[in-house]
Amino acid sequence: MSDLGDDIKDTLEDIGTVVSVIGGSGSEYLDFEPNAQVTKPFIREFFLDAMVSYDTAMETGDVIEFDVTGDRFIVMNKTPMLLENERIYHDTVLYKCNVSGEILRPSGETRDSQTMLKSAVFVSIKSDAYSLLTEPLFSGYLDTESELANIGIDRQELYIPSSFGIQVLDRFEPSSGEYYLVESIRTRRFPGVDVVVLGEDTR
């Protein structure tokens, strides 16, 4: 490894911010700045560009936590920066998690003994499923100065680590208590991260 890669790592430890991979071991340092599209409030709030060391333990799809603020972000990509054919650091893009939900999977039905109405039975697949829940990011909606508080329960997009194992027809329940039906999953837009299309779940 080049001396420059070690120098950059030392600099990150001097001036960087401490983060930890949730479910991992240990901590490391990164340097970050808001996304360049600063005219868009949503992007300014929820997307970060960051630099991490050449030997970072982070992988795409990891959820990291900032030790000081407690904010959690999904690692969306990790691009090695090379010099003389050696990695000297990685550029990353981070999406801020705004929900901690639960993934539930249908497991048959039950019938009410009095009303005789059937209802779906669900089993928990993953709790503390940190993710980003938003209006579709490419619809133009987020080009305006809208706020997350205005998001309804119509169709939503969920950016969630692939390792959580979410599937079509699962239910996603944010900690705020809504029920969403997993209608479709785009698995190839970001390695390690699923883009999930959600609709209202009335089951």
Class of 99-200 in CATH? mainly beta
Per the confidence metrics, is the pTM higher than 0.75? yes
Residue pair 65/94 in contact by the 8 Å Cβ criterion: no
pLDDT tens profile 185-197: 988 788 999 999 9
Domain limits, the chain: 3-96, 99-200
Q: Give residue 32's pLDDT.
A: 93
Q: Give residue 38's pLDDT.
A: 56
Please report which confidence band the pLDDT of residue 131 belongs to, taking 50, 70 and 90 as the band edges.
very high
Class of 3-96 in CATH? mainly beta
Please report which confidence band the pLDDT of residue 132 belongs to, taking 50, 70 and 90 as the band edges.
very high
pLDDT tens profile 7-39: 999 999 999 999 999 988 789 999 998 766 555
pLDDT (mean) for 80-98? 94
Q: Give residue 135's pLDDT.
A: 82
DSSP character string of 97-144: --EEEEEEEEEEEEE-TTT--EEEEEEEEEEEEEEEEES-TTSSGGGS
Residue with the larger pLDDT of the pair 107 and 189: 107
pLDDT (mean) for 36-51? 76
R_g (Cα) of the chain, nearest Å: 20
pLDDT (mean) for 91-117? 88
Q: Give residue 46's pLDDT.
A: 86
Which residues contact residue 127 at a Cβ distance below 8 angstroms, ignoring those fewer than 6 apart? 102
